[in-house]
Structure formats: structure tokens, C-alpha cells
Amino acid sequence: MGAARILVVDDDRLLRTIMTERLERSGYDVTAAGSLGEARAAIDRFTPDVALLDVKLPDGEGPELLVELVADGETACIMMTAHATVESAVAAVRQGAWDYLEKPFSLDKLEATLVSTLERTALQRELRALREKASLDGTVVGSSPAMEEMMALVERVAPAGTSTVLIEGETGTGKGVIASAIHRMSPRAGGPFVNVTCSALAETLMESELFGHEKGAFTDARTMKRGLVEIADGGTLFLDEIGELSPAVQAKLLRFIEDKRFRRVGGTKDLTVDVRVVAATNRDLESAVRDGSFRDDLYYRLKVLPIRTPSLRERRSDIPALAKTFLGTFNREFGKRIREIAPEAMEILLRYTWPGNVRELRNVMERAVLLADGPVITQAMLPAAIRSPLGPPTPYPTLGAEGFDIEQLERSLLVEALRRAEGNRTGAGRLLGLSRHQIRNRLKKFGLDE
């Protein structure tokens, strides 16, 4: 990639020259302009990465150009002014400026602000590219508040390249895609991304898979084998379904996370690697800690930077965009030219509760595209379980002269939540704002635990 392109717009010729010379010595490709007209002419020839804009110019004001550049979306702007006030600084930021410099400023301050802005814009471009790449999966498609909040957190978490991250969320919400996103946006992006499914192997095999083994460590250990933590050196180790690890492996993993030291199975020497650990689970680990199936010290060590992937029920406004993304994906895969989803079919997609989340929606759209023999996806191409109406919601009783049994209301809400979550207790708990432990207690209370 070439040098960053900088546009300096200031009517003070001396300051313009000093800034240009300093930035060129630092390796930037600098173009200078003394007015709005000159700046616009320069922008017609090239797109700057950053524009340093004076507020007061001979033929107008810098914020005029700021608005144009923000609308274009390719240039970050830093405002400069000798007439700084809190109000004008806030106004410039609200209009889209990335930062604000009050004259007189030192050249070191100028360069530090420029470096910071370029780093932030690079991260933003990486996030944009990541979202476009991940749109084939569909997980990060959408602009619902829940998705925007999660992706903003990913942006903040990713650069902390050594901190442990725990991704929590229901099955099918794209925890693996988010883990990959964190790796790609971190300083470790050039290193390996090693994905380990913790439920895939038995306890003895899992320890060997993670930490490797020495020759002769057990009957079939004919040669030394490097473990996945060694292979991930310099990169990211993604531990999917971490709640399924046995207590013995949990203990060894905790030691490794704390000091990045481990021993191969059958080994006597400690080995050290530089690895970031990102873990994911669809289990309620807090409940697992309470019932003793998951170590509390490991849980709190993992949950340094927690991220929760929202369920599709929490981001229903994203369903049309997701469905259309999958439609395009499977059009290309199956060589079809389906143009749209019929309104009644889209209404069904919006109404369904999606216990399998984005993964289930993807499968439904794949089936629909395969069945379609025309240019439109109709409701007949959706599975019967999706088309079946959920039925009217449980009516809330009103307080009449005889009153009503409040425990019966609680029982009805519990049954309705379990029905919507298709019997999944964790899902029912989310609908009611209760933990899995609280759901279990209520099931016992009302004789529903069987």
C-alpha cells in the first residue's frame, strides 16, 4: 500500500508550507490548497485519505467542504481553527469531523493526531471489508441496534490483541464468524487462526490435541506431536463450545491462559507461546459455575472482554436483508435468477421465532431457492413448520371482581416462553429475563420439570 494521501487546506501560506514539508518528511503524499476552490480542484484529481481543513477560508468555510467529504465517505477530516470554542468543536464533530486542532498547535501534535486518525480509519475500513466478506455467511448483515452495538464492541475489543474474549450466544448466531472478525481486526491478523471444537473429542484426546504429546507418552504416540496451542503461536486460538471441556482439561487450560506456559502430554519441560484465546459458548456458564460443572476461576479469566451475539429474535429488522443476502448467495450457487421474496413469504419469515437463528434462516432460504421454479420465492416454498402460525399470544387476564390467581399467570407465561423457545430452557429464560437456574426452579414449582 502506498503512502497515505493528505490534503492540507489553509489560507496561511507559511503554515501551509511548514505543515506540508513536515508531513512529506514523515513519508506522506501531501497536496496543499489555500481556498475551497483549490481544495475542490485537488479532490477532483485524487481522493485524500485525510483532509486537514481550516475553518475560515477566503471563499467560504471549511465545514462546507467537511459536509461534502463526509457524504462521500472516503476521506477523514480534521478541523483546524484559531477561533476555537467548545461549541464549534462539537458542531464539527457532529458534522463528521474525526478530530479538532486549535491553533497554534505543535507539529508533533499535528502528526500524532494524523497518525491516530489514520489508524482509526484503517480499522473502520477493515470492519467494512469484514462485513462485506461475512455477508456470504449472513451473520453480520444488518443494521439493527443489537447488531450495531455488537459490532461497535468488536471494533473496540479487537485491537487489544492479548486480552481474552468470551463470546456468548445461542446456537446459530455466528459466534465463530465474530471470533474470526476479532482475529482479522487485531494486531495478530498476520498470524494463524486455529479453531478448536471442544466437544469434538474425548478428554484424553482433547488434552493431546490442545497441548501435543511427546514420543512414547502413550501407546500410539510413535512420534512427537505439536498441539494446537503451539500451532496458534503468534495468532489466535478459538475454543468453540468451551463449556463442554472436562474439569481436568479446564484446569490445564486455566494455567495456560494465565502464563501462556504448558507441557506436552508426557513432557517434562514447560513451553511458552504467544497466543490470544477467544472462547465461545451457547451454554449458560454462570449456571455451570453454580452447579460445579465449570470452574469459576476459568470463567472469570475468560470473561475479561465478553461479547454476546444477539439471537435473530432480537434483530428481526435484519431478517429481510439476511434473507435477500442468502437469496443472492444461492442464486449464484445453483445458477438461478430468482428476483425477490413474495410479501406474504417475507411476512412468514418475520413472524417465525427462529430457534436456530441465522443458521436456520440460511437453511430455509437454501431450500426455498432449490424448490423455486420461477422468479419469486413464495410461501409454498417455505417449510411447513415455518408456515404454521404460532397461534394467538397467551391473553393477559384482567383483574375482575373475583380477581385472578397470579401464580397461574406466572405458570402460563412460563409455558408460553417454553413453547416459543421450543422447550429450550435457556431460550425461555431470555424471553422472561430469568436465568436457566431460575427457570429450573419454576418448572419444579409448577410440576413441569418432566
Residue-wise pLDDT for 191-239, tens only, equals 999 999 988 777 778 888 899 888 877 777 778 888 899 999 999 999 9
Phi-psi region of 164 (alpha: psi -120 to 50; beta: other; left: phi over 0): beta
pLDDT at 428: 84
* Mean pLDDT, the chain cut into blocks of 10 residues (450 residues total): 83 92 91 92 87 88 84 82 65 79 88 86 65 49 83 86 89 89 87 89 81 79 86 94 91 91 86 94 91 93 92 90 88 87 92 88 93 91 76 47 66 81 81 83 77
Report d(CA 237, CA 223) in Å as an integer.
Answer: 24
Find out if CATH 3.40.50.300 is the number for domain 145-308: yes
- Are 75 and 50 contacting, i.e. CB atoms less than 8 angstroms apart? yes
Q: Which residues contact 422 (CB under 8 A, 6 or more apart)?
A: 353, 355
Other Cβ atoms closer than 10 A to 409: 13
DSSP string for residues in 228-273: HHHHTTTSEEEEETGGG--HHHHHHHHHHHHHSEE--BT--S-EE-
CA 60 – CA 51 distance, rounded (Å):
16
Query: Does residue 356 contact residue 311 with C-beta atoms inside 8 Å?
Result: no
CATH number of 312-387: 1.10.8.60
- pLDDT given for residue 141 in this prediction: 67
Architecture of domain 406-445: Orthogonal Bundle (1.10)
CATH architecture of 5-124: 3-Layer(aba) Sandwich (3.40)
Residue 266 CB neighbour total at 10 angstroms:
15
pLDDT at 346: 93
Give exposure, 230-258, as e/b (b: 16+ Cβ within 10 Å). bebbebbbbbbbbbbbeeebbebbbebbe
Q: Is it true that 5-124 and 145-308 share their CATH fold? A: yes
Q: So what's the pLDDT on residue 7? A: 93
**Dihedral of the alpha carbons of 276, 280, 283, 286, in degrees to the nearest 10:** 30
What pLDDT sits at residue 259? 87
Confidence (pLDDT) at 47: 84
Q: Specify the pLDDT at position 126.
A: 63
Task: Provide the grid cell at 246.
Answer: 472436562
Using CA atoms, how far apart are residues 320 and 349, in angstroms rounded to an integer? 8
**Domain assignments of the chain as residue spans, ordered by start:** 5-124, 145-308, 312-387, 406-445
Q: Tell me the whole-structure pTM to 2 decimals.
A: 0.59
Which pLDDT score is estimated for 429? 85
DSSP 48-75: -SEEEEESEETTEEHHHHHHHHHHHTS-
**What is the pLDDT, as a whole number, of residue 128?**
58
pLDDT in tens, 341-384: 999 999 999 988 888 899 899 999 999 999 998 899 999 999 88
Counted residue by residue, the chain has a size of 450
